[in-house]
Amino acid sequence: MHWKTWDFLCEPKCRGGLGFRKLDIFNKALLAKQLWRIIQNPSSLVARVLKGRYFKHMDVMLSPLGSNPSFVWRSLIWSRSLLKEGLCWRIGDGKGIDVMRERWIPSKRSKLTPCELNVTVGAKVSSLIIDGSWNEQLIKNVCLPHLVQDIISAVGR
């Protein structure tokens, strides 16, 4: 006999549920955390083993699933989308960050669309920086107004 749905039981106690965790979401979060550890500590044994087998000549965030992947690798690839949602570039000099394809504005949850920036395809964030600080006049000229303040106040430029 089922008196309550699983979704109701997974609600926090303050909302009347029992506070159970949704195991698939919790599992994905833990796997994304492991993937973050691989990125942060590339010299660890697990990172070196996975790199040798699955992403020898590329970044772990760009590597394909490959042929005949292990259950571990398949699981890490499954969690990669969750990790990508939370990642944002630290600008630095901006030479390696594509303006249109990368997520580099902290307040922006997704990639920019061509109508939001009036820049050429393949332009780098470095084209918006002069002498280590933002070229505010250029940013005001090429960006829609709602993005200007977000870009100028971007963390970690």
In a domain, residue 38? The reply is: yes
Give yes or no: residues 20 and 59 share one domain.
Answer: yes
Residue 41 binned pLDDT confidence (cut-offs 50, 70, 90): very high
Residue 35 binned pLDDT confidence (cut-offs 50, 70, 90): very high
Residue 46 binned pLDDT confidence (cut-offs 50, 70, 90): very high
- Judge whether 50 and 38 are in contact, CB under 8 Å: yes
Query: Does the model's pTM come out above 0.75?
Result: no
The residue among 57, 86, 115 that closes a domain is 86
pLDDT tens per residue, range 58-72: 889 889 998 899 999
Give yes or no: residues 32 and 93 share one domain.
Answer: no
Give yes or no: residues 125 and 54 share one domain.
Answer: no
Q: Which structural domain, as residue segments, surrounds residue 18? A: 6-86
Cβ neighbors of 31 (< 8 A, separation 6 or more) are: 75, 76, 78, 79
pLDDT tens per residue, range 9-21: 888 999 888 989 8
Give yes or no: residues 53 and 76 share one domain.
Answer: yes
Give yes or no: residues 117 and 145 share one domain.
Answer: yes
Rounded distance between C-alpha atoms, residue 129 and residue 35, angstroms:
31
Give yes or no: residues 65 and 102 share one domain.
Answer: no
Tally the domains of the chain. 2
